[in-house]
Structure 1
Amino acid sequence: MSTDAPASGPELTAFTSRLDFGIDDFQRRACQSLEEGRGVLVCAPTGAGKTIVGEFAVHLALAEGGKCFYTTPIKALSNQKYHDLVEVHGGENVGLLTGDNSINSSAPVVVMTTEVLRNMIYADSAALVGLSHVVMDEVHFLADRFRGAVWEEVILGLDQSVRVVSLSATVSNAEEFGDWITTVRGDTAVIVDEHRPVPLHQHMLVGNRMFELFDRRGRGTEKGKRQVNSELSRYIKHRMLSPDAVGGYEDRLSRERRRRGNRTGGVNRPRMIANLEAEGLLPAIDFIFSRAGCEGALAQCLRSDLHLLEPDEVAKVDAVVDAHLAELAPGDSDVLGVDDWRWALRRGFAAHHAGMLPTFRQAVEELFSLGLIKVVFATETLALGINMPARSVVLERLVKYNGESHVDLTPGEYTQLTGRAGRRGIDVEGHAVVIWTPEVQPERVAGLAGARTFPLRSSFAPEYNMAMNLIDRLGVDGSRALLRQSFAQFQTDRSVVGQARQLDNADRTLRKLNNEIDAAAGRSGIDPERFTEYVGLREDIRRKERAQKFVRRVDGAHAIAEDLSALTRGQVISVETGRHKGLAVVLESAWKGADPKPLVLSEDGWVGRVGTDDFVNPPVVLGGIRISKNADTRSRHARREITAALQKSGIERPRGKVKKKAAEPDYELDELRRRLRTHPMHKASGLDELYRMSERRARVQREVAALEKAVHERTSQLETDFDAVVGVLVELDYLEDDGAGSLRVTPTGAVLRRIYSESDLLVAECIRAGVWNGLSPSDLAAVVSSVLFVSRRESYGAGVDSMPGNPAMRDALTGTIQVWEATNRVQDRHGVVQTREPDTGFCAAVSAWASGRSLREALGAAGSQGNLLSPGDFVRWNRQVIDLLEQIRLGVDPADPLAGAAKRAVAGVRRGVVASELS
């Protein structure tokens, strides 16, 4: 919804004058707030134009003579934004920093990944001088459980003079997030816009038929939600009842897919694309939540006769592809599958996922933006801000793999993915199409499409590098104070508001009861303090008795369980409770567990398992009878024979009533009881009302104590985790007493401050232990990869002899494993989560590559270890190795031979296809 209202400030007027479109109201309000000197949080749907606000921040910084950093969550988005800003402001004014790429880093405008800015803050980089604006694109990424803490570290660590522009997808708790930013950064305008500039229509594709998901007449349910299209529901019901009568081909595929356990293999993509084309819904993005699924879909289309481009368009595709392949080594074309990739592009379809070379992905993005690709099969990474809108978005599944398990899509994820549908200024409307399968029913899709609750939750948690840098900058007390300012703590504090209110009410009730008891005691001529003392004694005794009873019950259960576990076949015991009391012979020993239950045959012929609940005291073996090893105790005949043998054995049950084992004397409890009997109030009479009031007071006191404990546990978790991390760092001498009652970073700790890996502590410990000293550059690159790489299968665990490489590399890997084990023992003592085990699965590949071997040989080396890497994965892992090697080089003393080895290792890895991807 654009507006003709005049911009309020001269810079906004200047900015809008160069645009060839009018800005929307939410964009204008956000930009006005920025020009007024305020920070802004903008929450709006995908494709609504949030980046206009970020671009105005760049304009404003340049106009004021300041600097602007534009941060993004992924390198691909940083690269894209860099090129966009260069087109507007020129290459001399715009730089790029992505960890492995540096272009014009001293420019007044620098695009970077959020981690780079976090590292600059911790290093107190000179580049921060003069910084006036920071744009945090996709700031909702702070909910990411792996990397989200970085966003909070930046927001908390930036100088207060910096104006922060936070751009977020639509979240339902935008006001809460905005309140937090205002709390920690000062005046911040919260601009929320839920209007999609291009309306989105929801569909389901059932076989060859396309249906509207919702009732087109706009009818709702009794709860106000839109009603599922009744025609769609009827058609699916008929299809389910008569699979061979209606669209039998797809249903047979669906049944075969379920039979094979392949949940994505049953979609006929060429037919689906034909349906989309017939409905006028191309270009489309088909989200398939696996790389293999994307490649399989692409192969399916290549086997068909599908051609979506005209001859003149094919020529344009060739020109773009040739430009992107210019730096590729000729010998790498075959191993990279260039011919098949190009052939698919020339027919108008492509894949897009992290396993592809970045060069290939960039070519796909450019071709799609030019309208030269009609269908892209993509993983969800494409939804992360990359500018690739389409007329329609297709979802084949509503389940994705989150790195650990397959989980259902959330409403927020569904909205983020389908938000790509509808090109502003091109399409009148966008379309979301969900492929029907028996597992994907309309009601489930409607629940996702109709949800409006997408809360943003913090993933902030203290880690080693964070703790070291915070303590170095702020000290321990200052670090704790900063933790209390985190969004995680802010949300926790708000979540216990209800409990805090209950606690406040209970406190008031308690004070009132105390006053009433004092008054009533005074009227009865009783000293209120003596009465309270007496009541306290009664409460102490009651608590002691309850605790004693609990301990006795637990101890008794443990003793019974131990004796039940020890019973063997043929032993005779006495069951004292239940319907089958009496003698019983053991047929099978107990299974292992907290409540072991042997199988017994009772003297009345009952067969079953008995456990701790069937005994008051531990079972006593009264004797035994012989049961033949060959006896089939499951047959009635054998059981009758065993019962007869039991009755003839002469073994008798213990006589008399079963008594519980006497408890050990509790001298403290005896003393409390003595003090109660001798107390002056013990024989006082006429105090029934006072006792009832005191009972109520005791209940309220217990409620207060429980609420205080709950609130404390929830509000102190961050500091508890921080203290545990600090405990590890102190024990390992990364932190030491500064002589003034606080802690300071040791020289060893200075290395850890510069290591930003997930396994930061392990890396620092390996450096300190010297296990990586003396390695050749290629061996160093290989060993360093072991603390980064994550195999799709377990690649270590068969012992040192199975490790890859020469003796020096194997010795270093063995040392790394030993350091990892020792470090985890320290972490265990402090209750800190263990560091992930080193993984040798990439060692052979990176060693071969760093030694100058060909891409084919390096990929083959990975395959020999059972890790079939895609070219994109190969480049990605090499990038991470380069990044960590650079951290090691900069973290150790420049004169340390390890620094030189790391520098040479970087040079060895940064070549060929890896170097071209970093240019």
Structure 2
Amino acid sequence: MSPAPAVVVPESAIDAAIDQFNVFYPFPLDTFQREAIRTLLHGESVMVAAPTGSGKTVVAEFGIYDAFRRTGRVLYTAPIKALSNQKFRDLRAIYGDDVGLLTGDISQNREARIIVMTTEILRNMLLQTPWELDDVECIIFDEIHYLADPDRGTTWEESIILCPDHIQLICLSATVTNAAEIAGWIGRTHREIRLITHDERPVPLALYYFHDDELATVIDHTGATVRDFSRVGGEARRQPGRSGRRQVPARALHAQDEPQPREIVDVLAKDDLLPAIYFLFSRNDCRAYAEQLAMMRPTLASGDQPVHIEQILETYLAVMRPEDRALDQVEVVCRLARCGIGFHHAGLLPILKQLVEVLFVRGLMQVVFATDTLALGVNMPARTVVIGRMTKWDGRRRRTLIPNEFQQMAGRAGRRGMDQFGHVVMPYSPMIPFRDMLAVATGDLHPVQSAFAIRYNTVLNLWDPPEGDRVRQMLRRSLAQYQTGQRVRIIEADILEIEAEIAGLTEGRREEITQLDDSFEEFRSIDRRLQTARHELRRIQQDLAAVRLASTTSTPWTEPGRQALRRLFRAAPSGAVLHVRELGWCIFLGRGTQGGVGLVLAASDARI
């Protein structure tokens, strides 16, 4: 598609607009934020790839601010409802009734100038009612690395492919290794987009290993390795004495119990490392661990925090119906909240998720047990993050976390302007060795790979009889097709390079190559004759061995059978001389017993 014309704006006006926007924040904007905003003011689309918690959301907030100034409409898309609901609350506090919300179960103020929605809602609008986007100036795609999600990545691709040309895009992504490839695809599919990357976190992270009731620093906030536990963890999976493996001492295989949340929280509280988010991958575990901690630690709230907690609880309970307030989920969340403890997952009622988020952000909740959906952009930074499990069930199998998932969760540690650096804790596990945990925590990020799959409703909405060209166009413009084309071009370039190297090697050496070919052919002929000769030699050696065996074991007379021997021994006198194949020459002593033919005397007494 042809790119939109760039807007010519004086640099002085751009700087003034950025400074005016910066007034809303208690910190100066970073260089990458100013550069992204400058790109937007020039009328270009922008993609920002930066670590979790580095402030890339500021760029999206400027896009909303700028569109609002110009009386345009803006759409903010998010991958999960929790993030959509939180962004709606944040924007509603600034822009009031000019903000609407569209999710799968909520439709509020859909004619507003600023609409927060899930990506599925945007895709459905683009397929079914595209005219609703005629007055939209900007669309924000938060967490665009969700393109790789096996279940929902297709929705993101379809939304970008179907997005009208006149709309300016703001794409926010966590740090990925192929951000340039994603930006290249968006630029080819929609319109030219500028990629801005940022690798530094405003709050550095330190990595810890919880083992033997001790919180040990593994990597400090400068990136230096402090301690190594390479011989610890995974004892339950080792099997001593297996063939081909070194015998492991029994004492080295002693598996300790997995540390309980109370033990970890006690140490965090003692070292002043709360509030903390404790990530798990099961909704049931989140609730069970929270209740277990509340039983062991009746309260983590201190000072006047219980008073403020009670006030917020009363505010939320007041807007709920009596039958809702009697729900078990509501009672449990409120009881735990009074202890300064919470849990958060997609199965909670929206109002309860909002309650937990508000209490945690205001510092009234010290520990929240949450699934990894909380890591997807929900603004709940903590001083410490505990990665409670290093494996997860992804809907198909239980697997180890990948570095992208680990860093997404770890990015919630460290509150800008409040913490000098954030803390990430990995608890000891008897099932996973420490070295495997460290490989996940420090490993290279995986690239975003397209999960595009054509779906029936897409075909039905795009089908234009008789050929279905719009469906084909969708396939041709997908990220999957773009990445496949990129790989094909790389392979073709490699082939051309190899062919050029071969041509360079053979240049001016035709006669030598011909001589070498003749020599190779002669070598192959000699090798074939050698193999034939070796085969004939083995056959002759086998025949010779057979002849030798026959010459040492055969006799010049015919060997009688067993029945003939019985008849002979009935009349044979004692002292007769016999020849036995196994014993040689023997003296006959008499008829045999217990099934034998006869008794003989040889070098050793024997029975036949």
Query: Would you call these one fold, judging by a TM-score over 0.5?
Result: yes
Q: Show the counterpart of 2:206.
A: 201
The 3-state SS of whatever aligns with 2:304 is helix
The 3-state SS of whatever aligns with 2:53 is coil
The 3-state SS of whatever aligns with 2:265 is helix
Instruction: Pick one of 462, 478, 487 that aligns with 1:470.
Output: 462
Which one-letter code corresponds to 1:196 in the other structure? R
Partners of 1:88 and 1:151 lie apart in 2 by 28
Verify the 8 A CA contact 1:143 1:457 in the aligned structure 2: yes
The 3-state SS of whatever aligns with 1:166 is strand
Verify the 8 A CA contact 2:317 2:325 in the aligned structure 1: no
Which one-letter code corresponds to 2:176 in the other structure? V
Partners of 1:52 and 1:71 lie apart in 2 by 15
Cα 1:139/1:474, change in 2 over 3 Å = farther
Which one-letter code corresponds to 1:94 in the other structure? V
Which one-letter code corresponds to 1:336 in the other structure? D
Instruction: Pick one of 76, 79, 83 that aligns with 1:73.
Output: 79
Aligned-residue offset at 1:370: 0.6
TM, length-normalised to structure 2:
0.74
Cα 1:35/1:393, change in 2 over 3 Å = same
Aligned-residue offset at 1:78: 1.2
Cα 1:242/1:128, change in 2 over 3 Å = same
Partners of 1:358 and 1:346 lie apart in 2 by 19
Cα 1:10/1:364, change in 2 over 3 Å = same
Identity %: 38
Instruction: Pick one of 339, 356, 370 that aligns with 1:364.
Output: 356
Cα 1:214/1:428, change in 2 over 3 Å = closer
Give matches, 1:794-809, under 5 Å: none
Aligned-residue offset at 1:194: 0.9
Aligned-residue offset at 1:435: 0.1
The 3-state SS of whatever aligns with 2:418 is coil
Verify the 8 A CA contact 1:205 1:435 in the aligned structure 2: yes
Partners of 1:63 and 1:26 lie apart in 2 by 23
Instruction: Pick one of 30, 33, 39 that aligns with 1:24.
Output: 30
Cα 1:242/1:218, change in 2 over 3 Å = farther
Per-residue CA deviations over 1:853-903 (Å, capped at 9, x if unaligned) read xxxxxxxxxxxxxxxxxxxxxxxxxxxxxxxxxxxxxxxxxxxxxxxxxxx
Matched, 1:486 2:491: no
Q: Show the counterpart of 1:36.
A: 42
Cα 1:228/1:494, change in 2 over 3 Å = farther
Partners of 1:507 and 1:242 lie apart in 2 by 55
Which one-letter code corresponds to 2:420 in the other structure? V
Matched, 1:50 2:22: no
Partners of 1:319 and 1:412 lie apart in 2 by 39
TM, length-normalised to structure 1:
0.50
Aligned-residue offset at 1:97: 1.4
Partners of 1:510 and 1:421 lie apart in 2 by 54
Give matches, 1:453-852, under 5 Å: 453-472=445-464, 476-501=468-493
Runs of 4+ residues over 6 Å off in structure 1 = 215-219, 234-245, 505-511
Matched, 1:426 2:432: no
Cα 1:9/1:469, change in 2 over 3 Å = farther
Matched, 1:325 2:317: yes
Q: Show the counterpart of 2:266.
A: 274
Instruction: Pick one of 175, 178, 184 that aligns with 2:180.
Output: 175
Partners of 2:235 and 2:154 lie apart in 1 by 50
Partners of 2:488 and 2:482 lie apart in 1 by 10
Verify the 8 A CA contact 2:391 2:398 in the aligned structure 1: yes
Matched, 1:187 2:192: yes
Per-residue CA deviations over 1:50-87 (Å, capped at 9, x if unaligned) read 11111111122122232111111112211111121122
Cα 1:217/1:66, change in 2 over 3 Å = closer
Give matches, 1:343-382, under 5 Å: 343-382=335-374
**Higher normalized helix content (fraction of residues):** 1
Aligned-residue offset at 1:354: 2.0
Partners of 1:332 and 1:464 lie apart in 2 by 38
Give matches, 1:370-409, under 5 Å: 370-409=362-401
Partners of 2:477 and 2:151 lie apart in 1 by 20
Aligned-residue offset at 1:337: 4.4
Partners of 2:325 and 2:67 lie apart in 1 by 44
Compare 495-504 and 139-148 and name the one that shifted more: 495-504
Partners of 1:103 and 1:473 lie apart in 2 by 37
The 3-state SS of whatever aligns with 1:90 is helix
Aligned-residue offset at 1:123: 1.6
Cα 1:407/1:165, change in 2 over 3 Å = same
Verify the 8 A CA contact 2:52 2:411 in the aligned structure 1: yes
Instruction: Pick one of 151, 154, 160 that aligns with 1:149.
Output: 154
Aligned-residue offset at 1:462: 0.8
Cα 1:267/1:469, change in 2 over 3 Å = same
Verify the 8 A CA contact 2:234 2:431 in the aligned structure 1: no
Q: Show the counterpart of 1:229.
A: 227
Listed as ranges, the gaps of 5+ residues in structure 2 are 1-10, 239-247, 504-608
Q: Show the counterpart of 1:801.
A: none
**Higher normalized strand content (fraction of residues):** 2
Verify the 8 A CA contact 2:206 2:221 in the aligned structure 1: no
Listed as ranges, the gaps of 5+ residues in structure 1 are 220-226, 255-265, 512-919
Aligned-residue offset at 1:396: 2.0
Q: Show the counterpart of 1:777.
A: none
Partners of 1:237 and 1:169 lie apart in 2 by 31
Cα 1:305/1:18, change in 2 over 3 Å = closer
Which one-letter code corresponds to 1:438 in the other structure? P
Q: Show the counterpart of 2:123.
A: 118
In the alignment of these two chains, the number of paired residues is: 484
Which one-letter code corresponds to 1:458 in the other structure? S
Q: Show the counterpart of 1:580.
A: none
Which one-letter code corresponds to 1:374 in the other structure? Q
Aligned-residue offset at 1:162: 0.7
Q: Which fold has the larger relative contact order, with Cα–Cα distance below 8 Å and residues 6 or more apart in sequence? A: 2
Question: Which has the higher Rg, Structure 1 or Structure 2?
Answer: 2
Aligned-residue offset at 1:179: 1.1
Per-residue CA deviations over 1:332-381 (Å, capped at 9, x if unaligned) read 44442444332221111111112222222111111000101101111111
Q: Show the counterpart of 2:443.
A: 451
Cα 1:341/1:59, change in 2 over 3 Å = closer
Instruction: Report the RMSD for the aligned CA atoms in angstroms.
Output: 3.2
Aligned-residue offset at 1:509: 12
Partners of 1:32 and 1:208 lie apart in 2 by 50
Which one-letter code corresponds to 2:259 in the other structure? V
The 3-state SS of whatever aligns with 2:219 is coil
Aligned-residue offset at 1:10: 4.5
Partners of 2:21 and 2:50 lie apart in 1 by 21
Verify the 8 A CA contact 1:270 1:306 in the aligned structure 2: no
Partners of 1:321 and 1:384 lie apart in 2 by 26
Partners of 1:470 and 1:110 lie apart in 2 by 25
Cα 1:10/1:471, change in 2 over 3 Å = farther
The 3-state SS of whatever aligns with 1:56 is helix
Cα 1:488/1:371, change in 2 over 3 Å = same
Which one-letter code corresponds to 2:428 in the other structure? W
Per-residue CA deviations over 1:450-490 (Å, capped at 9, x if unaligned) read 22323111111111111122224996223313321111111
The 3-state SS of whatever aligns with 2:90 is helix
Partners of 1:228 and 1:117 lie apart in 2 by 48
Verify the 8 A CA contact 1:82 1:96 in the aligned structure 2: yes
Verify the 8 A CA contact 1:11 1:60 in the aligned structure 2: no
Partners of 1:415 and 1:190 lie apart in 2 by 21
Cα 1:416/1:505, change in 2 over 3 Å = closer
Q: Show the counterpart of 2:566.
A: none
Cα 1:396/1:35, change in 2 over 3 Å = same
Aligned-residue offset at 1:243: 11
The 3-state SS of whatever aligns with 2:151 is coil
Verify the 8 A CA contact 1:418 1:432 in the aligned structure 2: yes
